[in-house]
Amino acid sequence: MSLKNQIVIIILVFGLFLGCKNKPQNDYSFNKEGDIEINLNSTLDEEIQFESLNYSDFPVYSLSTRYPKLYNNTKANIPGIPKLDSFQVVSRTLQWGGHSFELYKSGYLSLGEFLERSEYLLADTLALEKPSVYYGINAISGFIGDKQVVLIDANSNGDFSDDVPIEFNKDFRYSHEGFPDLIDVPIVNFNYRIYLNNKHFDIDRKIQLYPHVNHPHAYLVQNGTLDNLTNEYTLMLHLKDYRKGRFSINNVTYTVGLQGIYNNDLSIVIKPDTIVYEKDDLEFQRNFTFRATDTIEFPDGLYKLDGVSTGLNTLYLKKLPDVPDSFFGHRIGTTVADYEIKLLDQKNVKLYNILGKDKKFTLLDFWGTWCAPCKELTPELKRIHNKYSENLNFLSIALDTDVNEVKEYVKKNKMDWHHAFVDRSNRNGSIVMGMRIQSYPTLVLLDENNKVIFRGGSSSLNEIDEILSSNQVLAK
């Protein structure tokens, strides 16, 4: 992305827009307090991409190892299972309250544990006894001859006899790492149900379900949920559709994209139509990606994400009456908070205290010794530091397991700048969590007021170099 686009984005965040064409009609409304309701519609277009893990792709797996009593009861009460050489009933809960109730009934949770997990979701557990209520996806994953057969209970009626099997080559499940191209995998209409505040809500989605043994959820084997045998039947659920809408504030039009299963765990993208970037540049898109209850700065002030309708058809933005002097955040245009930082010598200091007040920029480098792309970037980081050190604060923050390994790497590679450490197993409350660092390396450039003016990944050092050069930073 060019420096010109970076400047446009900075202007965007502070609300200094020019007019915008193609204002959406009747897709949103304001009330007298200035709150906004945005209508969302299902779409299969690919204008907006989302993080795969936790939002658009989920493992669907057998519970026979972890919860055998629950599994056997489910298997015994599902009609329509075809004749196969071998099979497993695989499932994925889409509302943890319903799943917790099943675990409670099967003796895997105490009453207290069930209530602790589900009290805020489920007002009437008797409603969960009804056989027509299903809170997840159920499928058959089995083998016959040289084929793997997948059968989805697409209408969630607890009966496979009215569903159409999908066949895959038996080796398909081994043929890919990560998230494969699904162009030849059928798209299935899938209906699931959410129970909230004593009411049921039906949600229709477009999904793809396919075999995947080498899925990025190794923890399921590590924690004993799956063993090597049951993992052979694991499927991946891909949400093919997402919810999309548009609205305008002060003649600036925004596109909204929403992805996920349930209201409390959604990825919400709100991006101005004036900004164009590669749709697979998810690191840059994080500047426009939000979660429920986040606060967002628009040209006319701050709004809070005030929820999504249970059917995922409406997004609510609540206008906040007061604008604080400093709006802390992790996106372009927001000010980075004064986080407590643990240095490599284990001393705790405030972020602002280790930044030179006489320097115009600060570069935050989030990395780890376990991260190969991070290590590959080391020579370029040294070049940037040497070139701009007179006017550039430099802080590398390692998310790692052993501070001594970080020290050794820093010393060996003569990384002569500030370094901090975040324990990979205990990152809650850290700058890594506060800045929502999800990929490594992540580079964040701040101005002299600690405002974010750039955020990117491993391919963005040239753009950072361009920004520093264009602002006449004195080379060392």
Query: Is there a single domain that holds both residue 250 and residue 290?
Result: yes
More confident residue, 35 or 327: 35
Nearest to residue 238, comparing CAs of 203, 214, 210, 279?
210
User: Is 444 inside a domain boundary?
Assistant: yes
Q: Span 122-147, mean pLDDT?
A: 71
CA distance 91 to 77: 14
CA distance 245 to 38: 7
Six token digits for residue 199? 């009411």
Query: Is there a single domain that holds both residue 201 and residue 301?
Result: no
Token match 């890919």: residue? 176
Q: Span 167-185, mean pLDDT?
A: 85
Give me the domain span that covers residue 100. 57-239
CB neighbour burial string for 361-390, b if at least 16 within 10 angstroms, e if fewer: bbbbbbbbbebeebeebbeebbebbebbbe
pLDDT at 323: 61
**Cα torsion for 52, 54, 60, 64, to the nearest 10°?**
140
pLDDT at 351: 94
Q: What is the pTM of this model?
A: 0.76
| Per-residue pLDDT at 14 exceeds 60 | no
- Residue after which a domain boundary falls, among 287, 319, 351: 319
Residue 411: CB partners within 8 Å, gap ≥ 6? none
CA distance 44 to 60: 22
Q: Span 5-11, mean pLDDT?
A: 36
Is residue 393 classed as helix, strand or coil in its secondary structure? strand
Neighbour count for residue 338 (Cβ, 10 Å): 14
Residue 240: CB partners within 8 Å, gap ≥ 6? 44, 187, 205, 206, 207, 208
What pLDDT digit, counting tens, does each position of 267-301 carry?
A: 999 999 988 888 888 888 888 999 888 888 888 88
Query: Is there a single domain that holds both residue 84 and residue 225?
Result: yes
pLDDT at 276: 83
What is the band of 8 on the pLDDT scale with cuts at 50, 70, 90?
very low
Average pLDDT value over all residues in the chain: 84
pLDDT at 118: 65
Query: Is there a single domain that holds both residue 96 and residue 206?
Result: yes
- Residue after which a domain boundary falls, among 239, 270, 305: 239
What pLDDT digit, counting tens, does each position of 83-113 carry?
A: 999 999 999 988 776 677 777 777 888 877 7
User: Is 52 inside a domain boundary?
Assistant: no
Query: Is there a single domain that holds both residue 107 and residue 192?
Result: yes
Give the number of domains in the chain: 3
How are beta strands 36-39 and 147-152 bridged, if at all? unpaired
| Per-residue pLDDT at 78 exceeds 90 | no
CA distance 179 to 53: 10
Query: Is there a single domain that holds both residue 294 and residue 392?
Result: no
| Per-residue pLDDT at 3 exceeds 70 | no
Contact indicator for 136, 94 with CB cutoff of 8 Å: yes
Query: Is there a single domain that holds both residue 283 and residue 228?
Result: no
What is the band of 403 on the pLDDT scale with cuts at 50, 70, 90?
very high
Q: Span 43-55, mean pLDDT?
A: 90
% of the chain residues with pLDDT over 90: 49
pLDDT at 103: 79
In whole angstroms, how far apart are CA 352 and each of 31, 127, 141, 275, 449?
Answer: 41, 54, 54, 31, 10
Query: Is there a single domain that holds both residue 218 and residue 105?
Result: yes
Query: Is there a single domain that holds both residue 195 and residue 61?
Result: yes
What is the band of 178 on the pLDDT scale with cuts at 50, 70, 90?
low
CA distance 81 to 67: 20
Q: Span 383-388, mean pLDDT?
A: 93
- Residue after which a domain boundary falls, among 239, 260, 293: 239
User: Is 331 inside a domain boundary?
Assistant: no
Between CA 467 and CA 473, with CA 371 as vertex, the angle to 5 degrees is 15
How are beta strands 392-400 and 361-367 bridged, if at all? parallel
Query: Is there a single domain that holds both residue 116 and residue 194?
Result: yes
What pLDDT digit, counting tens, does each position of 290-346 carry?
A: 988 888 888 888 898 998 987 899 999 999 887 665 567 788 888 899 999 999 998
